[in-house]
Amino acid sequence: MKSPYTEIQQHLSNSGFKNSIVGIEHLADLKCKLQELLERGTLNREFYHEITSRLKLNWQFEPPANLPGAKSVIVVTAPQPKVKVKFEISHNKFEVIIPPTYVHDLYTEISDLLTYNLKKHDYKLCKATLPEKLLAARSGLARYGRNNIVYADGWGSYFNIKAFFTDMPCPVDNWQKAKMLDQCERCSLCRKHCPTGAIQADRFLIQAEKCLTFFNEKSGDFPEWIEPHWHNCLIGCMICQDICPANKSQIHWITEEDTFSEEETLMIIQGTPINSLPQRMKDKLKKLCMLDDYHLLSRNLSVLLH
């Protein structure tokens, strides 16, 4: 008879996902690692607090109140392509890219699959808010690149990460040291092509407070030192990922989504309040997982189109 976790692994694999599991006691290790980076100044404290506040990231380094008997954390990775979106303006169509991690949120599908399999064995599940890149690396699902992005075998950086608490005992603890991609030892392409200089030769953790993604996920005007032609995505940035040899087989994995008409494009550029948008337009934005980031699109799209 298969163990509950073996059954879960098989069902996740059949659905195209990869997964790992670690014991709940390693939450303390995650917390200590973040504190160490902050205390050493490797991770900019002001940047860290701004990001966690902006994204409402209240890390759960203790078993959650709604599942006090949690014994393990299941980590699941799901492949994700880049998404191409078209915007009509001045009788022309402009193609814009959204990076892999923003679209096609598979949380519900993964959660339903896990809940179904755990319930058969009287175990429960709840979402975990944890530093997912670090968790994926420490659970053996991914390795870090020099650009501070994690890579999975066969998928490159084209995947998303979800984490869940469960009261199922941890059958095998996959906790391990975070590893770096082998090719990063002899490659500096991402560092040379990063327009903002966020990736440096003398440190492995990038200066995320200088990363272009940090600024175009943030409200307000762009700093004057950011050149307009550096922008390359509707949100986020793909420069270091597109140039990365570890993504060689992935960079052309692009799906095409909706086209926004000239009227709709102008509404975005003009900053029309989201509640005033036609329902069909809100449906398009929801499909692209852009409703929460709608307030950024007027600025980001304008700089791309110009």
| Each residue's pLDDT tens digit, 89-146 | 999 999 999 999 898 778 899 999 999 999 999 999 999 999 999 999 999 999 999 9
Percent of the chain scoring above 70 in pLDDT: 100
The two tokens of residue 275 are 């509640």
CA distances, 231 to each of 33, 73, 196, 237, 282 (Å): 32, 37, 11, 7, 25
Convert the pLDDT of each residue in 152-179 to its tens digit: 999 999 999 999 999 999 998 999 999 9
Mean pLDDT (whole number) for 52-80: 93
Convert the pLDDT of each residue in 5-29 to its tens digit: 899 999 999 999 999 999 999 999 9
Mean pLDDT (whole number) for 230-257: 95
pLDDT at 1: 57
pLDDT at 10: 93
- Three-class DSSP labels, the chain: CCCHHHHHHHHHHHCCCEEEEEEHHHHHHHHHHHHHHHHHCCCCHHHHHHHHHHCCCCCCCCCCCCCCCCCEEEEEEEECCEEEEEEEECCEEEEEEECCCCCCCCHHHHHHHHHHHHHCCCCCEEECCCCHHHHHHHCCCCEECCCCCEEECCCECCEEEEEEEECCCCCCCCCCCCCECHHHHHCCHHHHHCCCCCCCCCCCCCCHHHCHHHHHCCCCCCCCCCCHHHCCCCCCCCHHHHCCHHHCCCCCCEEEEEEECHHHHHHHHCCCCHHHCCHHHHHHHHHCCCCCCHHHHHHHHHHHHC
Least reliable range by pLDDT among 39-48, 125-134, 177-186: 39-48
Distance CA 249, CA 252 (A): 7
State how beta strands 150-151 and 92-98 pair.
Answer: unpaired
What's the mean per-residue pLDDT of the chain?
93
pLDDT at 44: 86
pLDDT at 190: 95
pTM recorded for the entire structure: 0.92
